[in-house]
Structure 1
Amino acid sequence: MKNRKLNQWLWKWHFIAGIISLPFVIVLSITGGIYLFKSDVENEVIQGIQKLIPEEKSERLSYDKQWEIAQKNSKRKLNSVVLDDGDLSTEFIAGRFGGKQSVYVNPYSGKVSGTFKAKDTWMYSVRKLHGELLGGKVGTKVVELITSWMVVLILSGLYIWFPFVRGIKGVFTVRLKEGKRTLFRDLHAVTGFWISILLLIVLAGGFPWTDVFGGNFKKVQKWTNTGYPKTWSGRGLTSTVKEKRLSLDEMISIANAQNLSGKITVGLPKSVKSTFSVSNKTFPLSGQKMIHFDQYSGELVKSHNWSDVGVLMRARMWLMAFHQGEFGGWNWYLMFAIAVLLTLTSIAAIFSYIFRKQKGKLSVPKSPKSFKQNYGLVIAILFLGVIFPLFGLSVVLIYLSELFTNRKSLNT
């Protein structure tokens, strides 16, 4: 049997947290759904730059010559080149992550066909709105706080709703003829139930990008040695210095001989002692490799497979890729469906509140006066507060606020 007093107490705080969070949740779900089209938007721009006119094809320039041209047209030092099939302009990259910029060189004419930065597309604004509400570091922490409470909302919502009053029948049916309040309440509850587990996985894939949780997660990876191997990025690896370095064409020939799948990138040496690196981005993630070669002899220095990556990093990368719908069509459509359904269930919750709200009152559910939190509940809250520090801080502030309010009411 369900603890009815606990149910009422959770319902009160589920309600309060929901009313505060829902406007933000709607923004996050809508922008998340839009951001799934990121590749389509960016690829359309890139294809316009990379696509070659058949008449332009003649004798192909060496990669070294193309690199010289690209470097002259880049204000930043180039760090890598993407291998192509010969029918596209060659992509040279400067920077990393969000600051990455690509310079495209026509391999036949030697002309720079264009440059590309993700920041130049309107999708970048969608990303900033989704990740930080256009509020910089403060906005990032607000998003982290809201997503932390979303975890609590999902868990408390499952307890409150299932199984209660309607039993198993309520999992599958929405009451259409019992008034608007009941209709929207059921739409919120039934839809929320069916996406709850997937939504928790989606949220888990978003947390690594956050400031506080993400920063702590990286520290745990470092302490437990469950991230990338130290030599994955080439740190600590050296080449035997000689008079002549391999040409970029020779290195790319070696890279092609590795028969890697997906998008293959050759990282350029950062100094006279560092190495060339060859990596690929492919799915499943288990097919990804990072291989380092002596920049003078071309000999293998270090080869890493995906199995060399620590378990926490592998889990993190899988969840982040799932979050972005990168595992193929099924993953993309699933993420888009979750974004749409989360928006609908959030809107349904707002309408449910509007139709239950009494005029002139907030209509906040009352919790039983005699209810005392048991050890299990306290431990669960403390556990979530440790995992999600911003949630923990907000709970402390709520507790202090309630304590102050209760003492004030006793003194009056």
Structure 2
Amino acid sequence: MQAVPQRGDEKPTHQLYLAAWRWHFYAGLYVIPFMIMLALTGLVILFAPQIEDLQYRDRMFVVPQGSVQPYTSQLEAVRKAYPEATIERFRPNPAPNRSSQVALTWGERELTVFVDPYTLAVLGEVDHASRWETIATEMHGTFFIKQEVSLPLVGKVNLGDLLIEIAASLMVLLVVTGLYLWWPRNGQGLYGSLLPRFKAKGRTFWKDLHSVPMFWVSLVVVFFALTGLAWTGIWGDRYVQAWNTFPEAMWNDVPKSEQNLESLNRSGEKLVPWNLENSKLPLSGSMAGKDGIPAGTPVNLDSVIQYVRDNGVNYGFWVALPKGKEGVWTVSASSMSRDVTDARKDRTLHIDQYSGKVLADIGWSDYSLGAKAMASGVALHMGTYGWWNQALNALFCLLIILASLAALRMWWLRRPAGIFRLAAPPLPKNLPLWKGAVALIVIKGILFPAAGATLLLVMALDYLIVRRIPALAGAIR
């Protein structure tokens, strides 16, 4: 294990090492609990399809027998079983041995109801709030915190979302400083750099279990952080998503409502692609749009599904029913809702509920470059590209958990016994290149506002309060 330089022999490289170590320590102190939580909940979300196939097998699978009944008949069977419910969307059975699904709201409950497409038997329901994926997604995104806070220049954001956004933003700082600390010094070879020294003892053993796995997954951590930030309230909604929303100017001749496509989502469940969430829903009732369902054909669930299948959507998708007299049929095949395994097959259509004309038909080719990058990145983040994607993501999550726990163990062994102290790495007396460090913080603040503001706040508290109160300064040292 590399010796830690003492304050008495502070060469410029030693001072920089101490400064990087100190920032790494403070960032890790905040980020590590979030990293463990995100990795654990990420594993649940990652394997949610397999979990639900086992958990709800009696409702999700059927025995093929004869012909599939009309989709309007399947929907009507659910209406009769839940006469007081508001039906929101329908998912035709994606395979011969699968049931169809109907998402509805019944009182205060959001339910998914399963219907046999051959016999029209209603097979049962699942409360959306009780699904493992819903619970894990809420934890993953907001920490179950419902409270909102108002921020200058930003407005209202969810507090839990903000805390996680700060952690995800600081992960980038954690990786950069971590790679600097990991860089082999003093002739350190393969073991301790690329492979752990399993025969080592004490802090050296735990240091290797922390630094080596994190080296191998460092770029993955940055990737997870950036694609995860796409869903956050500041960096995602106001910083990135706003510049990559589908250009509504492409359907200027179509009347639009005041509702965004995001209104079609459930809490903790994404239906529409990320880059369409802020787009406005079109309105039915005009003569706008291009020819869609043939004239004279009733515009209903059967004809809508037949049209989209005839036009290339021959895989899983959801159909959102029109809401009110001006609502539209919205068909969404999205990697975010696991309808497709490849973001390049994303497809979203809006169809006039009266004329059957297509008001919008949006696919991969219509996405901006940034939207394509985020759509494919989010799909990789969620593991939707196939078993190999799930296996790699699971391995990455486990390595992140191992490295995080090893970091906590390192700190526990290093801290003084018998007294409460954070035992932060020593602050160098004369930090070299301090102007460059300030410039990096400013740049980070521009790229990641939540993290930048947090770093400035911590520096201000340290300078104005902690250093001036001996008891606080002693607890940190």
Task: State the Cα distance separating 1:287 from its structure 2 match.
Answer: 1.9
Q: Secondary structure at the match of 1:263?
A: coil
Q: Answer with 181-190 or 156-165: which moved more.
A: 156-165
**Alignment counterpart, residue 63 of structure 1, candidates 63, 71, 77:** 71
**Are 1:264 and 2:317 matched, yes or no?**
yes
Give the gaps of 5 or more residues in structure 2: 1-10, 147-157, 252-275, 288-294, 334-338, 471-477
Task: State the Cα distance separating 1:326 from its structure 2 match.
Answer: 1.2
Question: How many Å separate the matches in 2 of 1:2 and 1:308?
Answer: 52
Task: State the Cα distance separating 1:401 from its structure 2 match.
Answer: 1.8
Question: How many Å separate the matches in 2 of 1:195 and 1:339?
Answer: 9
**Alignment counterpart, residue 81 of structure 1, candidates 71, 90, 114:** 90
**Are 1:255 and 2:308 matched, yes or no?**
yes
| 8 A contact 1:244–1:296 mirrored in 2 | no
Question: How many Å separate the matches in 2 of 1:59 and 1:13?
Answer: 64
Between the aligned residues of both structures, percent identity stands at: 27
Instruction: Tell me the equivalent position of 2:474.
Output: none
**Are 1:354 and 2:362 matched, yes or no?**
no
Task: State the Cα distance separating 1:15 from its structure 2 match.
Answer: 1.8
Which amino acid in 1 is paired with 2:71?
Answer: Y
| 8 A contact 1:208–1:214 mirrored in 2 | yes
Question: How many Å separate the matches in 2 of 1:389 and 1:375?
Answer: 20
Q: Answer with 289-298 or 347-356: which moved more.
A: 289-298
Question: How many Å separate the matches in 2 of 1:47 and 1:20?
Answer: 40
Give the gaps of 5 or more residues in structure 1: none
Q: Answer with 188-197 or 258-267: which moved more.
A: 258-267
Which amino acid in 2 is paired with 1:142?
Answer: L
Superposed CA offset, 1:266-298 (max 9, x none)? 343345555434442323211222234454554
Distance 1:52 1:176, change over 3 A: closer
Question: How many Å separate the matches in 2 of 1:58 and 1:212?
Answer: 52
Question: How many Å separate the matches in 2 of 1:210 and 1:121?
Answer: 22
**Are 1:110 and 2:163 matched, yes or no?**
no
Q: Secondary structure at the match of 1:401?
A: helix
Question: How many Å separate the matches in 1 of 2:43 and 2:12?
Answer: 36
**Are 1:92 and 2:113 matched, yes or no?**
no
| 8 A contact 1:206–1:320 mirrored in 2 | yes
Distance 1:122 1:253, change over 3 A: closer
Question: How many Å separate the matches in 2 of 1:294 and 1:27?
Answer: 43
Q: Answer with 190-199 or 288-297: which moved more.
A: 288-297
| 8 A contact 2:100–2:116 mirrored in 1 | yes
**Are 1:385 and 2:395 matched, yes or no?**
no
**Are 1:27 and 2:37 matched, yes or no?**
yes
Superposition pairs of residues 8-23 of structure 1, within 5 angstroms: 8-23=18-33
**Alignment counterpart, residue 364 of structure 1, candidates 424, 439, 442:** 424
| 8 A contact 2:348–2:362 mirrored in 1 | yes
Which amino acid in 1 is paired with 2:362?
Answer: H
Instruction: Tell me the equivalent position of 2:256.
Output: none
User: Greater share of helix residues, 1 or 2?
Assistant: 1
| 8 A contact 1:227–1:312 mirrored in 2 | no
Q: Answer with 239-248 or 7-16: which moved more.
A: 239-248
| 8 A contact 2:22–2:426 mirrored in 1 | yes
Q: Answer with 144-153 or 70-79: which moved more.
A: 70-79
Instruction: Tell me the equivalent position of 1:395.
Output: 455
Superposition pairs of residues 315-330 of structure 1, within 5 angstroms: 315-330=373-388
Structure number with higher relative contact order (C-alpha < 8 Å, ≥ 6 residues apart): 1
TM norm structure 2: 0.74
Task: State the Cα distance separating 1:110 from its structure 2 match.
Answer: 3.4
| 8 A contact 1:234–1:274 mirrored in 2 | no
Which amino acid in 2 is paired with 1:141?
Answer: L
| 8 A contact 2:88–2:103 mirrored in 1 | yes
Question: How many Å separate the matches in 1 of 2:164 and 2:236?
Answer: 13
| 8 A contact 1:74–1:103 mirrored in 2 | no
| 8 A contact 1:227–1:311 mirrored in 2 | no
| 8 A contact 2:110–2:127 mirrored in 1 | yes
Distance 1:180 1:298, change over 3 A: same
TM norm structure 1: 0.84
Q: Secondary structure at the match of 2:322?
A: coil
Distance 1:120 1:185, change over 3 A: same
Instruction: Tell me the equivalent position of 2:392.
Output: 334
| 8 A contact 2:342–2:384 mirrored in 1 | no
**Alignment counterpart, residue 185 of structure 2, candidates 136, 139, 164:** 164
Which amino acid in 1 is paired with 2:246?
Answer: Y
**Are 1:209 and 2:231 matched, yes or no?**
yes
Q: Secondary structure at the match of 2:217?
A: helix
Distance 1:13 1:61, change over 3 A: closer
Superposed CA offset, 1:379-408 (max 9, x none)? 211122233333223222222222224456
Task: State the Cα distance separating 1:338 from its structure 2 match.
Answer: 0.9
Question: How many Å separate the matches in 1 of 2:185 and 2:23?
Answer: 18
Task: State the Cα distance separating 1:155 from its structure 2 match.
Answer: 1.0
**Alignment counterpart, residue 136 of structure 2, candidates 112, 123, 126:** 126
Instruction: Tell me the equivalent position of 2:164.
Output: 143
Question: How many Å separate the matches in 2 of 1:87 and 1:406?
Answer: 67
Superposed CA offset, 1:195-214 (max 9, x none)? 10111101112112223322
